[in-house]
Amino acid sequence: MRDKLLVDLLSRTLYEVVERCLPVELAFKRACKLLKAKLGYGERELAYEKARSIVSDYMKLLCITGSKVRSYRELVRLWFNVESLKTPLPPYCQLSYNAWFYGRIVGLLGREEGEAMLRSLNRRNLWLRVNTLKASVESVLRDLEREGVDYEDDKHFYYMVKILSSPKPLRQLRIVKEFKAIIHDKASAAVVEVLKPEPEDVIIDVTAAPGIKTSLAMMLTENRARIVAADIDVKRLKVMKVLLRKYGVNTSRVELVAADSAYINIRNCNVKVMLDAPCSNTGAVGKDPSIKIHTSHSVVEYYSNIQRRLLENAVKLCNLIVYSTCSVMPEEGELVVKAVVDRCSGLKLVKALPWASPGYNVVVFRDKLMRLFPHIHGTEGFFIALILHR
Ligand SMILES: C[S@@+](CC[C@H](N)C(=O)[O-])C[C@H]1O[C@@H](n2cnc3c(N)ncnc32)[C@H](O)[C@@H]1O
């Protein structure tokens, strides 16, 4: 690709991420469209990987330039100058996080582990879930081998596969295009495993769209559970409807409901509730490094308030609730659970996954909570709590 076009693409992507708060994937697509970039398939993938890397390195570039930076183009040129990236910097700059993000994690995990976690969070972990509604595990593994994908079986979930390397992006694999395998992080699958869906279950997924966890619950019950899938976002529910069909889910057993789940009211002792709450997504920095740029204490507090309202209502709905967030911040995990447990008497917490890490040391019941981390479990950062009424 011509150097000028690449510099233009990267600087436009940075602009879209920083100024318009777009996720990297969307920012890059927009940059390609605006610049009318006609790229071959391989070229586009290469340019996209560079776009992801430069967005991930953005905080570091700001540290190097101080306040002297004049344009995104200048930042891109600086990024290409490998020597400049070797400038000695404080650790938060070196790892390319803002000082608050770095300080919060190092304060919780200690310097050595905190830095290992942040370093690992910068990398993308790739997982595929075999969609057993459409294909067997054996046939999918055979297909992966045929396509030259290097993978590892997972020791906890028979249908999860960790991808070590792939000659092409996962979404371009035939089995992914045919929905026989779904790009799905193991930590997200673990949330559904904690819910333990059974064929006779009625499940209320109160924040369901776009339905990746609903579809796993249906897969684990061979399409026999009944799910009420609620979400406040009608557009996302529409996408979910299409996806569920493509995944082979029996949609006659899934009722999609547009609702604000802080207020829904269907008290039923026999249902299970899954609350995979909206969050800062700080556990998914590897997938979308733009998250590092826009996350601040106030963003985390904003989500924390929503999560508290959703969980307070969820514990009123039934006797078994799984609460999860794709966040590495305790304000969206341990402290939300604490606020609700303090307010509602008679709740009990269960650490359903013995292999998960405990919660952060900010609540006395941390051993009853579950955290999955990139540097320990090779997954996105996730918080999971299983809450039961005594
Ligand atoms: C993390 S996503 C859920 C992902 C989904 N569980 C999955 O696995 O595909 C959070 C969802 O919560 C929805 N949401 C946010 N506030 C809500 C509310 N008050 N009531 C219901 N849904 C809400 C968002 O629209 C978003 O779709």
Q: In whole angstroms, how far apart are CA 22 and each of 5, 106, 208?
A: 21, 27, 22
Ligand 1 in contact with 266 (CB < 6 A)? no
| 357, burial (CB in 10 Å: exposed 0-12, middle 13-18, buried 19+) | middle
- Give residue 318's pLDDT: 86
CA nearest ligand 1 atom 17, residue:
232
Per residue of the chain (390 residues), give pLDDT as tens.
Answer: 678 899 999 999 999 999 999 999 999 999 999 999 888 878 898 999 999 999 999 999 999 888 666 799 999 999 998 777 777 899 999 999 999 999 999 999 999 999 999 999 999 999 999 999 999 999 999 999 999 999 999 999 999 999 999 999 999 999 999 999 999 999 999 999 999 999 999 999 999 999 999 999 999 999 999 999 999 999 999 999 999 999 999 999 999 999 999 999 877 777 999 999 999 999 999 999 999 999 999 999 999 999 999 999 999 988 899 999 999 999 999 999 999 999 988 999 999 999 999 999 999 999 999 999 999 999 999 999 999 998
Ligand 1 in contact with 27 (CB < 6 A)? no
What does the block give as tokens for 285?
């920095």
CA nearest ligand 1 atom 25, residue:
233
- Give residue 87's pLDDT: 78
Q: Residue 149's CB: how many other CB atoms inside 10 A?
A: 22
**Which numbered atom of ligand 1 lies nearest the CA of 209?**
27
pTM: 0.96
Ligand 1 in contact with 211 (CB < 6 A)? yes
Ligand 1 in contact with 209 (CB < 6 A)? yes
Cβ distance 237 to 259 under 8 Å? no
- Give residue 69's pLDDT: 67
- Give residue 67's pLDDT: 66
Ligand 1 in contact with 212 (CB < 6 A)? yes
Instruction: Report the run of H or E that residue 102 belongs to, with start and end.
Output: helix 99-109
Where does the chain hold its CATH 3.40.50.150 domain(s)?
187-389
CA nearest ligand 1 atom 10, residue:
278
Ligand 1 in contact with 76 (CB < 6 A)? no
Residue 354: cis peptide before it, omega within 30 degrees of 0: no
**Which numbered atom of ligand 1 lies nearest the CA of 191?**
8
- Give residue 212's pLDDT: 98
- Give residue 83's pLDDT: 75
User: Edge-to-edge strands of the sheet including 150-153?
Assistant: 150-153, 160-165, 126-130, 181-183
Rounded to the nearest angstrom, the distance between the alpha carbon of 352 and the centre of ligand 1 is: 23
**Which numbered atom of ligand 1 lies nearest the CA of 325?**
1
Ligand 1 in contact with 312 (CB < 6 A)? no
- Give residue 1's pLDDT: 60
Ligand 1 in contact with 308 (CB < 6 A)? no
Rounded Cα distance, 180 and 343, in Å: 44
The answer as to CATH 3.30.750.200 being correct for domain 187-389 is no
Rounded to the nearest angstrom, the distance between the alpha carbon of 215 and the centre of ligand 1 is: 15
Where does the chain hold its CATH 3.30.70.1170 domain(s)?
126-183
Rounded to the nearest angstrom, the distance between the alpha carbon of 75 and the centre of ligand 1 is: 35
Ligand 1 in contact with 260 (CB < 6 A)? yes
CA nearest ligand 1 atom 15, residue:
278
- What CATH number does the domain located at 126-183 have? 3.30.70.1170
Ligand 1 in contact with 332 (CB < 6 A)? no
HSE toward the beta carbon, residue 56, CA cutoff 13 A:
21
CA nearest ligand 1 atom 2, residue:
278
Ligand 1 in contact with 233 (CB < 6 A)? yes
